[in-house]
């Protein structure tokens, strides 16, 4: 039996233009510049720079909005979104910049060889037969960026047979591996941290401290990593001073030998602040990075072509197709200009609210003066959606008198102190960090003791909360902070 019924469903959908605007808001300065270049390249109706005359915009509006009474062009089917880019990386971003003077500002980088190529070049000085060379080449290709070969020898044996058609045995592989482990930097080709450190000790002069360090790594590596110093002294029958000297030798070693190689080409990305905050006569002043406020206008040539078509007496089908294309580009250009202005306003309004909310911090630079602040606080203040504030906070940086900061760092939850006041979790973390830095490293403070100290200072926080904050700060447990 069939039944009919009505079902009402309320849903909210964002238009393609709104989605594109949200994407523009989320972009930091450098990515925004790339997006702007992309739009200028794809839409010839959009131009950068000042307009030629003060009434250019008015003239454009007249030519764009005033049409022939006898000729009406239906543009409802025009999909402007086709001219608005999505998140895909355009091809031109993978090529060299072709924007005039900017080429002259690019820093030339010397080409270098890769880490693996550097290792292979050293193998040329070793005497290896054909099979050994192929195995060595395969082993070098298995070295990761940190300098380790993390695959078990049996797996390497199988790979050599299946992928390289080389049938050998584990003993031969281990013999070739020893030759690879003699390459520079010291410790390369190790299969574990302990082996990496031992390989480096092999190249040091065999002093008593080095010999003790070797014994510790070979026989008591687990006790060493867990800093069980008393057990180490008992097991190796050594004094505290001898143990200290051995540990100092180990601490000089490099746990990631591959990271020391600088022959490859590495481009360091520099953070470009989206805002700047300065203190002028005791007052805060905020500015938006000028690179976020480009001068854009609609092409006069395109608007002139549209005006020329409308004034023409005879209109062919090809002319109609051309003017529809022109209108598409003009509409897209106008929307993009409006979206850029809206982006600027959103960024400025959001950052101004954050600055005013955290005024005490920006005037002093003391993180203990950061007030508890969540996204909703700012969203309510400026009358925008929480997601919009999130897009600004998660991807933008601000240049302050105390350094360049990621905006989301100013947001934090609140915790009640003993007086019932709301304090920022950032304030508590700062105090926790200070207490740990000043502790006696021979007897580091446990999480229980840290919780007790915070409680004495007026912050009643549970031990598990202290542990969470400690982990967020990247501070290891007390046992691993111990020194002798």
Mind listing the pLDDT tens digit for each residue in 338-374? 888 999 999 999 999 999 999 999 999 888 788 888 8
Length of the chain counted residue by residue: 484
- Is the torsion defined by CA of 178, 179, 180, 183 positive or negative? positive
Helices (H) and strands (E) in the chain, counts: 22, 8
The stretch 242-256 carries a mean pLDDT of 87
Paired with 46 in beta bridges are 298
Alpha-carbon Rg of the chain, whole angstroms? 33
Give the C-alpha separation, 57 to 338, whole Å.
13
What whole-number distance in Å separates Cα of residue 444 and Cα of residue 454?
15
Indicate the pTM of the whole model.
0.52
User: Would you place residue 81 in the very low, low, confident or very high pLDDT band (cuts 50, 70, 90)?
Assistant: very low
For 332, residues 6+ apart whose C-beta sits below 8 A from its C-beta are 43, 45, 46, 80, 83, 84
pLDDT in tens, 412-468: 877 776 666 667 777 788 888 888 888 888 888 888 888 888 888 888 888 888 888
Q: Residue 280: what pLDDT? A: 92
Mean per-residue pLDDT over the chain, rounded: 76
Model pLDDT for residues 14-31, shown as the tens digit of each residue? 566 677 778 888 888 888
Cα–Cα nearest to 102, from 337, 291, 266: 291
How far is Cα 280 from Cα 269, in angstroms, rounded to an integer?
31
- Who contacts 198 (Cβ-Cβ below 8 Å, separation ≥6)? 214, 217, 218
Q: What burial class does residue 431 get, using C-beta atoms within 10 Å of its C-beta: 0-12 exposed, 13-18 middle, 19+ buried?
A: buried
CB 481, CB 436: distance < 8 Å: yes
């Amino acid at each position: 039996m069939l039944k009919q019924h009505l079902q009402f469903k309320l849903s909210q959908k964002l238009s393609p233009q709104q989605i594109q605007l949200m994407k523009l808001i989320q972009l930091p300065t450098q990515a925004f510049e790339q997006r702007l270049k992309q739009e200028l390249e794809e839409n010839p109706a959009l131009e950068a720079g000042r307009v030629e005359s003060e009434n250019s915009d008015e003239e454009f509006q007249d030519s764009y909005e005033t049409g022939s009474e006898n000729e009406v062009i239906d543009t409802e089917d025009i999909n402007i979104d086709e001219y608005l880019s999505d998140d895909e990386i355009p091809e031109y971003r993978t090529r060299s910049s072709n924007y005039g003077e900017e080429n002259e500002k690019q820093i030339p980088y010397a080409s270098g060889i890769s880490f693996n190529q550097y290792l292979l070049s050293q193998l040329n000085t070793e005497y290896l037969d054909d099979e050994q060379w192929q195995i060595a080449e395969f082993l070098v290709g298995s070295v990761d960026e940190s300098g380790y070969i993390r695959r078990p020898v049996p797996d390497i044996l199988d790979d050599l047979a299946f992928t390289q058609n080389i049938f050998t045995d584990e003993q031969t592989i281990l013999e070739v591996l020893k030759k690879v482990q003699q390459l520079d930097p010291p410790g390369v080709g190790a299969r574990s941290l302990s082996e990496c450190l031992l390989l480096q000790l092999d190249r040091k002069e065999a002093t008593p401290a080095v010999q003790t360090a070797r014994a510790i790594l070979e026989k008591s590596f687990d006790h060493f990593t867990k800093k069980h110093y008393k057990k180490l002294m008992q097991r190796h029958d050594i004094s505290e001073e001898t143990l200290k000297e051995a540990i100092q030798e180990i601490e000089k070693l490099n746990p990631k030998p591959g990271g020391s190689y600088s022959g490859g080409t590495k481009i360091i990305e520099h953070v470009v602040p989206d805002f700047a905050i300065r203190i002028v006569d005791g007052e805060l002043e905020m500015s938006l990075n000028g690179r976020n406020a480009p001068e854009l206008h609609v092409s006069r040539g395109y608007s002139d072509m549209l005006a020329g078509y409308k004034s023409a007496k005879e209109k062919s089908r090809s002319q109609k197709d051309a003017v529809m294309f022109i209108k598409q580009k003009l509409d897209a250009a106008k929307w993009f200009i409006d979206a850029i202005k809206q982006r600027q306003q959103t960024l400025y309004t959001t950052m101004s609210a954050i600055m005013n909310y955290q005024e005490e911090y920006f005037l002093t630079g003391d993180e203990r003066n950061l007030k508890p602040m969540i996204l909703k606080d700012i969203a309510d203040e400026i009358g925008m959606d929480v997601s919009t504030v999130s897009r600004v906070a998660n991807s933008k940086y601000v240049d302050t008198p105390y350094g360049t900061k990621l905006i989301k760092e100013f947001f934090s939850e609140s915790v009640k102190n003993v007086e019932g006041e709301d304090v920022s979790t950032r304030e508590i973390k700062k105090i926790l960090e200070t207490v740990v830095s000043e502790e006696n490293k021979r007897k580091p403070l446990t999480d229980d003791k840290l919780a007790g100290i915070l409680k004495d200072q007026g912050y009643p926080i549970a031990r598990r909360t202290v542990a969470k904050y400690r982990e967020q700060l990247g501070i290891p447990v007390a046992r691993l902070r111990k020194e002798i």
